[in-house]
């Protein structure tokens, strides 16, 4: 079974898919990071990007953002070349939480997500400019309301808890009403209730606003029940499909090139056992799964 066939089922009319990757290979500093990734993400789909550390998940996200080029293969984002559509992508990169001393309010951080890269100051002269100003303020308030952070957006971000900061960062990524949201390990460092809450929030945003979501994570479990599909990266290759299809012992063993077991707990949680953490050097592969 191929990934394309599944993805095509959810495509709507002439609108291109959110992300179309065909046999992409990426190298960094001469070393191969991923060697053969094929993936299509439809508009409004919620896809998790899984895999061990060093598998190339973040690098693949950066390629979609146009920050890293492909060594071979093709990559189309929202129907165009990656760098061209960067403005329509909301990006939440991996970064350290904001320390106590950070002297900026949450709402200002969200505002920077809207116009932080614009040079010069915007003075509201004339009614057109004032209207624009009002519209921008609405965008910010809506984004903050969407993530449920209105109660604490006015406080200094350094004072907020991990979960609260993460919601504001998601608002920051959403503020320009993107068509594609890329979240790089947003659940890291959050406790379980917060992980669930963020996963549910992302699902709600994806459904309500029709935003395609690529969420990079270590562990699929907090996301079970919200996901449409997963992409599993390991050994430089990728497998896409539903959770049941991809996270199985034979599939993952093929991916890793080493025997891997998938255990299922009584409550439905999945545990991958025996997977090597270090990035696998691409060696000869024999046969497909």
Partner 1 sequence: MIGQLFQYPFMVHALEAGTAVAVLAASVGWFVVQRRQAFTGHTLSVMAFPGAAGAALAGAPTTLGYYVACLVAALALGRSRRPQARGYVGESATVGTVQAVGLALGFLFLSLNHAVLDGLETLLFGTFLGVSQGQVVTLFVVAAVTLAALAVVGRPLLFATVDPVLARARGVPVAVLDLAFLLILAVAVAATTQITGALLVFALLIAPPATAQLITMRPLPGLLLSIALAIAIAWLALGIAYFSIYPVGFYTTTFAFAVYVLVRMGRWIASRG
- Minimum distance, C-beta of residue 61 to partner 1, in the bound complex (Å): 10
Counting contacts by CB under 8 A, is residue 253 touching partner 1?
Answer: no
Counting contacts by CB under 8 A, is residue 117 touching partner 1?
Answer: yes
- Minimum distance, C-beta of residue 111 to partner 1, in the bound complex (Å): 9
Enter the tokens of residue 56: 């190339």
Instruction: Say how many CA atoms lie within 13 Å of 23 toward its Cβ.
Output: 2
Counting contacts by CB under 8 A, is residue 225 touching partner 1?
Answer: no
Counting contacts by CB under 8 A, is residue 119 touching partner 1?
Answer: yes
Counting contacts by CB under 8 A, is residue 109 touching partner 1?
Answer: yes
Which residue, 108 or 219, is less far from partner 1 as judged by CB?
108
| Range list of H helices, 27-74 | 57-64
Query: For 151-180, b where at least 16 C-beta lie within 10 A, e where not — what string?
Result: ebbeebbbebeebbbbbbbbbbbbbeebbb
**In the chain, which ranges are E strands?**
19-28, 31-41, 46-50, 72-77, 89-92, 180-184, 212-216, 229-234, 237-241, 261-264, 270-273
Which of residues 86, 218, 251, 282 is near partner 1 by CB under 8 A?
86
Residue 114 CB partners (closer than 8 Å, separation 6+):
136, 139, 140, 175, 176
Tell me how far apart the alpha carbons of residues 190 and 164 are, in angstroms, rounded to a whole number: 10
| Count of residues engaged in binding partner 1, rule: CB under 8 A | 28
Counting contacts by CB under 8 A, is residue 94 touching partner 1?
Answer: yes
Counting contacts by CB under 8 A, is residue 25 touching partner 1?
Answer: no
Q: Which helix (H) or strand (E) holds 98?
A: none
Cα distances (angstroms) measured from residue 161 to each of 106, 259, 270: 12, 40, 28
Which of residues 113, 235, 241, 279 is near partner 1 by CB under 8 A?
113
Counting contacts by CB under 8 A, is residue 22 touching partner 1?
Answer: no
Which residue, 120 or 126, is less far from partner 1 as judged by CB?
120
Site string for partner 1, 38-77 (x = CB under 8 A): ------------------------x--x-x----------
Counting contacts by CB under 8 A, is residue 102 touching partner 1?
Answer: yes
**In 131-225, which ranges are E strands?**
180-184, 212-216
- Minimum distance, C-beta of residue 230 to partner 1, in the bound complex (Å): 24
Which residues form the interface with partner 1 (CB under 8 A)?
A: 62, 65, 67, 86, 91-95, 98, 101-105, 108-109, 112-113, 115-121, 156, 172
């Amino acid at each position: 079974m191929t990934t394309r066939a599944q993805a095509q089922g959810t495509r709507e009319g002439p609108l291109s898919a959110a992300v179309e990757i065909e046999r992409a290979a990426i190298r960094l500093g001469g070393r191969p990071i991923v060697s053969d990734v094929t993936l299509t993400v439809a508009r409004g789909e919620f896809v998790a990007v899984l895999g061990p550390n060093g598998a190339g998940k973040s690098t693949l996200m950066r390629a979609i953002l146009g920050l890293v080029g492909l060594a071979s293969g093709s990559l189309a984002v929202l129907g165009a070349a990656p760098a061209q559509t960067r403005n329509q992508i909301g990006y939440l990169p991996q970064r350290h939480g904001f320390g106590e001393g950070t002297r900026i309010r949450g709402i200002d951080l969200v505002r920077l997500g809207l116009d932080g890269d614009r040079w010069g100051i915007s003075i509201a002269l004339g009614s057109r400019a004032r209207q624009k100003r009002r519209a921008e303020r609405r965008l910010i308030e809506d984004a903050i309301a969407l993530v449920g952070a209105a109660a604490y957006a006015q406080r200094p971000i350094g004072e907020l808890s991990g979960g609260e900061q993460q919601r504001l960062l998601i608002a920051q990524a959403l503020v320009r009403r993107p068509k594609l949201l890329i979240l790089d390990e947003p659940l890291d460092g959050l406790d379980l209730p917060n992980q669930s809450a963020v996963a549910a929030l992302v699902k709600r945003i994806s459904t309500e606003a029709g935003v395609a979501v690529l969420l990079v994570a270590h562990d699929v479990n907090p996301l079970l029940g919200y996901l449409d599909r997963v992409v599993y990266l390991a050994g430089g290759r990728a497998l896409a499909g539903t959770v049941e299809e991809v996270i199985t012992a034979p599939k993952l063993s093929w991916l890793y090139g080493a025997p891997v077991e998938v255990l299922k707990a009584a409550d439905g949680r999945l545990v991958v056992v025996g997977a090597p953490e270090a990035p696998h050097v691409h060696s000869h592969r024999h046969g497909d799964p």
